[in-house]
């Protein structure tokens, strides 16, 4: 054994220095891996934030499209109700003036009236249907042709 290793003060100094070097080395290595992990976590967080921003923008666009579609749907509903109202008024008036209707007309007007009610139609047409048209006597349509007056 070398003579320096026999001296306890030297041994203590070597162990102290070695411990400091090893401790510093362990600390440096652990800080490296901790820093690397922290950078990966930060990068992952940034990717998540970017993805959330994209989703937020998509959500805003979807809400805008939905509002636009709702407005268009309301316009279509109103137009459909107006057309149905006109058709019901025209066809029921013709039969009320004639004083009768056919079974086929009654069925078709009943279907059209149900559609009109689903479109929130009411008022004059409902009163005309329930108080005048529904009670019209039925006659058999002998022509089996389209009545030119109904078009």
Residue 86 predicted with pLDDT over 90: yes
Higher pLDDT, 68 or 94: 94
Q: Which two tokens stand for residue 51?
A: 């993805």
pTM: 0.56
Q: Name, in order, each residue with C-beta under 8 angstroms of 85's C-beta and a sequence gap of 6 or more.
A: 116, 121, 125
Q: What is the mean pLDDT of residues 48-69?
A: 89
Residue 144 predicted with pLDDT over 50: no
Q: Angle at CA 111, nearest 5°, toward 133 and 73? A: 120
Helix (H) or strand (E) holding 40, with range, is helix 8-98
Higher pLDDT, 129 or 41: 129
The pLDDT, as a whole number, for residue 106 is 96
Residue 99 predicted with pLDDT over 70: yes
The pLDDT, as a whole number, for residue 29 is 81
């Amino acid at each position: 054994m070398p003579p320096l290793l026999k001296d306890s003060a030297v041994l203590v100094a070597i162990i102290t220095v070695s411990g400091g070097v090893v401790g510093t080395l362990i600390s440096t290595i652990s800080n490296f891996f901790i820093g690397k992990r922290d950078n990966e976590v930060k990068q992952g967080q940034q990717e998540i934030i970017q993805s959330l921003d994209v989703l937020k923008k998509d959500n805003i666009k979807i809400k805008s499209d939905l509002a636009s579609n709702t407005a268009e749907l309301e316009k279509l509903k109103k137009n459909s109700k107006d057309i149905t109202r006109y058709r019901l008024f025209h066809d029921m008036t013709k039969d009320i003036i004639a004083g009768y209707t056919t079974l086929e007309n009654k069925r078709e007007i009943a279907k059209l009236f149900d559609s009109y009610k689903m479109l929130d139609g009411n008022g004059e047409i409902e009163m005309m249907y329930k108080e005048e048209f529904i009670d019209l006597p039925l006659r058999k349509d002998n022509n089996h042709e389209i009545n030119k007056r109904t078009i």
